[in-house]
Amino acid sequence: MLMTFRCNAYANIMMFGSVGLQLVKMMGYGESSSGAIKAEDIPQALARLQTGLSNTPEDIEQPDLEQDEDEEDEEQQEVVVSLAKRALPLIEMLNAATRDECGIMWESK
């Protein structure tokens, strides 16, 4: 499932539904697969999101420093992207929506 965030002040953002739902929940809108935030409510939603992200531990996986180079070639290490980094485009969208005084909508497909 993918989630799309839309705003007239910013390009559309698509992300995995599970990540989008986490961010929507942090903004205070439950785990709603579709919804909207009115322009006047965006600063509060942004503040909630930033607070939620600051309370979330980094999802960074530390590489095994003692691993042999041959093993590294054979095993492909998975790169873990933190929720805070995944949220950056949405934070930028919220800031743009605040500047232009427009709302944000999201939906899952």
For the segment 75-103, what is each residue's pLDDT rounded down to a tens digit? 567 778 899 999 999 999 999 999 999 99
Mean local confidence (pLDDT), 33-48? 96
Q: Give the residue with greater pLDDT, 21 vs 74.
A: 21
pLDDT in tens, 43-68: 999 999 999 999 887 644 444 445 55
Which value, to the nearest 10 degrees, does the dihedral of the CA atoms of residues 83, 7, 96, 15 take? 20
Beta-carbon contacts of 96 under 8 Å, excluding residues fewer than 6 positions away, are: 7, 9, 10
- Predicted TM-score (pTM) of the model is 0.80
